[in-house]
């Protein structure tokens, strides 16, 4: 293995370990939200994000007032606020199960990628070559390729959610709520940006804020080449010899 391949493998493995620990922590935390092991402050933006992608009535009781509390005074000027109390939330957000399944899938892949990163680190440090390179190097780009595709798919899913969640009325329908006439009036005064931010946030989280995803894509090709070089026993001595010919 040449010095450049060694450096690339070292960087990729360490970068993966750090990245995966952060990503894995988020995914595990997300599953605790779904399973009611973590509570959200009803007055924070996080609560609206929670209602969109993790909510279940087994975890918390929610009313429309909990969401539009900062607009109550404005709304009360032209509608009967008591009508808001009649709005019943669905038993669970329509997006909750999908989000939970995605998080579980990522937990599995993150674990596999973390193991493959440690393998890559050991393989690079030990300068493993020939057939053993298949075992120590190639699992990393293989798992990464799956991750890249899954990142792109989840990015697309949450990007589509933006269309269905703009406006409090559409948002309520999207999470599985029924039609209430009061929603038409609330929709006028409640900012649409508030209802799409959760989808935008999830979109960028799962595409790893684009920059990290692009770095991973570059590393996929770079480590794939380094793995091939290790398999073919390409090293600095051979590179130097070829130049002297």
**Closest by CA position to 13, among listed 99, 122, 96, 175:** 122
SS3 92: strand
Is pLDDT of 245 > 50? no
| pTM score, whole prediction | 0.89
Task: Taking residues 172-184, report their average pLDDT.
Answer: 91
Q: For the segment 89-133, what is each residue's pLDDT rounded down to a tens digit? A: 999 999 999 999 999 999 999 999 999 999 999 999 998 888 878
182 touches 79 (CB < 8 A): yes
* Residue 91, phi then psi, degrees to nearest 5: -65, -30
Cα 106-111-116 angle, rounded to 5 deg? 120
Helical segments of the chain, H only: 3-34, 45-53, 64-68, 72-75, 96-125, 132-136, 139-165, 168-174, 182-189, 192-206, 211-231, 236-244
140 versus 3: which is more confidently predicted? 140
CB atoms closer than 10 angstroms to residue 195: 24
């Amino acid at each position: 293995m040449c010095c450049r391949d060694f450096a690339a493998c070292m960087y990729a493995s360490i970068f993966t370990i750090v990245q995966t620990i952060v990503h894995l922590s988020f995914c595990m935390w997300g599953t605790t939200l779904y399973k009611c092991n973590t509570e959200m402050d009803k007055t924070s933006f996080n609560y609206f994000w929670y209602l969109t992608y993790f909510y279940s009535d087994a975890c918390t009781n929610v009313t429309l007032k909990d969401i539009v509390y900062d607009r109550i005074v404005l709304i009360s000027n032209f509608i009967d606020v008591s009508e808001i109390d009649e709005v019943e939330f669905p038993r669970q957000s329509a997006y909750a199960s999908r989000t939970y399944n995605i998080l579980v899938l990522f937990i599995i892949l993150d674990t596999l990628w973390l193991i493959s990163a440690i393998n890559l680190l050991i393989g690079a440090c030990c300068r493993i070559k020939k057939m053993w390179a298949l075992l120590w190097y190639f699992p990393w780009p293989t798992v990464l390729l799956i991750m890249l595709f899954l990142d792109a798919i989840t990015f697309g899913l949450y990007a589509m959610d933006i269309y269905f969640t703009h406006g409090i009325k559409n948002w309520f329908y999207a999470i599985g709520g029924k039609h209430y006439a009061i929603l038409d009036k609330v929709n006028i005064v409640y900012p649409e940006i508030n209802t799409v931010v959760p989808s935008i946030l999830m979109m960028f989280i799962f595409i790893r804020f684009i920059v990290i995803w692009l770095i991973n894509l570059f590393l996929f090709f770079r480590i794939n080449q380094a793995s091939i070089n290790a398999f073919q026993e390409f090293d600095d001595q051979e590179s130097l010899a070829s130049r002297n010919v």
